[in-house]
Structure formats: C-alpha cells, structure tokens
Amino acid sequence: MPDPHHTLSTFTGLGTSAARFAARLGSDAELGSRHPETGPDPAYALRSWGAGTASPLYCPLPERVDDVLGKEVDRRLADWAVGCGFSEEEAEQLGRAEFGRLVVLAHPDCDDPDRLLISAKLNAAWWAADDLYADDTALGAVPAELPQRLALAMAAMDRLPDAGGFSHDLDEALREDRVLVALRSGVDYLARYGSPAQVQRVCYSTFAMFVSWTAYAAWKHKDEQPPAWEYLAARQHDSFYTSMTLIDVLGGYELDSNVYYEPHVRRAAIQAGTAAVLVNDLFSVTKDLADENPPGNMVLQIAAERDCSIEEATEATVELHNGLVRDFQALHRKLQASPSPQVRRFLRGLRAWMGGGFEWHSTSPRYRTGE
C-alpha cells in the first residue's frame, strides 16, 4: 500500500496514477451527487445577486479579496493590451472591467502579480475574441465570419511548423489583428511558467470552446433558436472550465495529466466551470437583450423554449446552477479521499474560482452598468 501522503505524480507507468486514484475513490455509484451527505459547509452560502429580486445563488464564498493586488494586475494588464495593439480607450475599458481583480479573486493561492498576469492576459484575450469575433455585433462580430477567424486564432495560440511562403502570409495576418496578437502573447507568457503539457491543455480546452462558438454562430446565421438542452451541451465546453485549466499553473504545481483527466476530477472541473458560466449568463441577461442579435444565454434559451417570462427563466437557471454547485460540493467531499495533496489543492482551486467568479460578477462595472 503506497504512502497516503505520496503524490500521484510519482507513480510510474502509463495511466497508473489515474487507475490507482480511481480505485481509491470507488465507483460512480459511490460518488453519487445531488444530496451532500454531511451538514452545512461554511465554505458555501446562499447569496443574493443583481437587484435581489431573484432567488439567491448557492456559491462558495470568496477566499481572498485584495483590491490593491487586483489594481496592480489591472495596471500591468492595460500596459500589455496597448502593446498588443489595443487603443488607449480599449485598454481603459479593459481596466474598468477589472480582469486583474477577477484573477486575484479566483486564484487565492497566488500572490505574485507576474504569475497572476498569466490568467489575466489569457482571460482578457478570450473575452476580446468573444466580444469582437462572436458576441457583440456593435463591435464587429459577424457570425458568418467566425469560423475562419477562429481558425487563425488557433494558429496564433498553437504555433504551426514552417511552411515557407505560406507561413510568411500567415505571420503577417497574425500580426495585423490585435486579438490574435493577444492570444499568441498570452500563450507565450504562459509557456514561461507552465510545462508543455499545461500549455497544450490550455490550448485544446480553448479550441473546444471555439467549437461551441461556431455552433452559436450557425444558429444565428440560420436564425434558429436551439432547445435549451442543446445550448447547454455547447455551453459546458464554452465555460469558465477553460479559465480553470490555469489553476495549477498559477499555484506553481502541476497536476499529472492522467489524474487531471481522470473522469471524476474532470467531472468536478466541468461542474465548476459550468456553474461559474451560468452566473455569467444570469448577470449578462440585460446586456445580451440590448444586442440587436443577442448571443446565446441560458436564461434566454429557456424563455424562448418554454415561452415564459425572463423572470421564470431566471428562476430555472438559478435552480440549475444551484444543483450543479451542490453536485460539485458532494463530489468534492468524496474526492478528499485522494492520496494526492495536488488533487486536493486543485479541487479547492475549482471551488475558489467559483467563489471568486461570483464576487467579480457582483462587483464588476461590466455587469453593474452593462458596459
């Protein structure tokens, strides 16, 4: 029997760590969710949100609020944005969105502003791509052009082998678009701190997210309203799970790939990422309704499918969110049996991200004022 304090990453053989990990945890039935088996957890609370008229959201509490550190990360992020080709006005808007504050809230186990910039840069680049390419028609988003734009975004993030003159044309195109410059710069910065496996994990979770964006674009282009279940299927790959792939990088450790993708750990991460993005949908309803071609939003999909009011659809989304968080909470409790302190730290990081994400949405001008 291995030492229970021995980390999984020291086991040898392809898949060995994940196999031993799963054996210690038990079956899927033993890891059942929906009904946590123990009493109240002080790390969670029912929290009012928005105007306070809807039912509260069940969320983890933020583990750290450090506005001084957040302002410093935001200052560095704005300088970086200008260097990527964004205008001074756009950089100021980026500062007002407080992405630096988001990552400080979401990654409480990191207090190094340089390392926090990994997440700040990539989240800002993802948001810029989402706004400028996919969501905001006022900023130039054109559904019919999205797939080709995202193909270049993938080439910006995951450098391709040299192809002679074709590479020259590609590099020129990548230099001319500030979103592509930001994506490449963000990944290059990530590579200074993360392993090759961690870098590719981030890239490929991003590319999965891009596939969901093209589904939304197809629905818009065909003027179709997908059923809520189909939207949610896409949304689970277009969630804050992508941001959460950076948790161990910012924490200064690496979760072994075979454990990171072990089904129970991945389920917990997808639950956390989906719950966090439903918070985004809830806070974005007013902003999305103001768009002449509204982006996908779980509240809007439910309202359209059920032919109900926004208020009723909001309540259904809150119920879905709270169920996901309670499922995560139950699974997190079971996964405490892991012999790996890295797994336990990563799971706490998922919980912290949900708590920090809610806090940021509650206080960011982007959602308070519809910016």
Residue 3 falls inside a structural domain: no
Residue 116 falls inside a structural domain: yes
Q: Half-sphere exposure of 341 toward its Cβ, with a 13 Å CA cutoff?
A: 5
Residue 6 falls inside a structural domain: no
- Output the CA–CA distances (angstroms, integers) from residue 152 to 168, 178, 184, 284, in the order listed: 14, 12, 11, 28
Helix 341-363 with 310-335: angle, nearest 10 deg = 160
Q: How far apart are CA 105 and CA 291, in angstroms?
A: 29
Lookup result for tokens 């959460």: 244
Residue 6's pLDDT band (cuts 50, 70, 90) = very low
Q: pTM for the full model? A: 0.88
User: DSSP H helical segments within the chain, as ranges?
Assistant: 16-25, 67-84, 88-97, 99-106, 113-129, 146-157, 165-176, 178-191, 196-221, 228-235, 241-244, 247-251, 257-260, 263-289, 298-306, 310-335, 341-363, 365-368
For residue 10, is pLDDT > 90?
A: no
Residue 54's pLDDT band (cuts 50, 70, 90) = very high
Give me the number of domains the chain comprises.
1
Domain that holds residue 146: 16-34+44-368
- Give the pLDDT of residue 142: 80
For residue 278, is pLDDT > 70?
A: yes
- Give the pLDDT of residue 36: 47
241, 268 in Cβ contact below 8 A? no
- Angle among Cα 343, 234, 117 to the nearest 5 degrees reads 50
Residue 204 falls inside a structural domain: yes
Structure tokens at 162: 């040299």
Q: How far apart are CA 277 and CA 235, in angstroms?
A: 8
pLDDT tens per residue, range 100-119: 999 999 999 999 999 999 99
Q: Across residues 166-188, what is the average pLDDT?
A: 95
- Give the pLDDT of residue 7: 33
For residue 2, is pLDDT > 50?
A: no
Better-scored residue on pLDDT, 16 or 203 = 203
For residue 364, is pLDDT > 90?
A: no
Residue 242 falls inside a structural domain: yes
Q: How far apart are CA 298 and CA 235, in angstroms?
A: 9
Residues whose CB is less than 8 angstroms from the CB of residue 129 and which lie 6 or more positions away in sequence, other chains included: 150, 153, 179, 183
Q: What are phi and psi of 54, to 5 degrees?
A: -90, 165
pLDDT tens per residue, range 280-292: 999 999 888 877 7
Task: For residue 61, give the CATH number of its domain.
Answer: 1.10.600.10
Of 1-15, 248-262, 315-329, least confident by mean pLDDT is 1-15
Q: What is the mean pLDDT of the chain?
A: 88
Q: How far apart are CA 24 and CA 147, in angstroms?
A: 43
Determine the straight-line distance between the first and last CA of the chain, rounded to whole angstroms.
Answer: 56
Q: How far apart are CA 70 and CA 364, in angstroms?
A: 12
Better-scored residue on pLDDT, 117 or 14 = 117
Residue 224 falls inside a structural domain: yes
For residue 220, is pLDDT > 90?
A: no
Residue 109 falls inside a structural domain: yes
- Give the pLDDT of residue 39: 62
Residue 166 falls inside a structural domain: yes
- Give the pLDDT of residue 1: 34
Give the SS3 label for residue 326.
Answer: helix
Residue 53's pLDDT band (cuts 50, 70, 90) = very high
Structure tokens at 42: 């002080």
Strand partners for 60: 44
Query: Rg of the chain's alpha carbons, rounded to an integer?
Result: 20
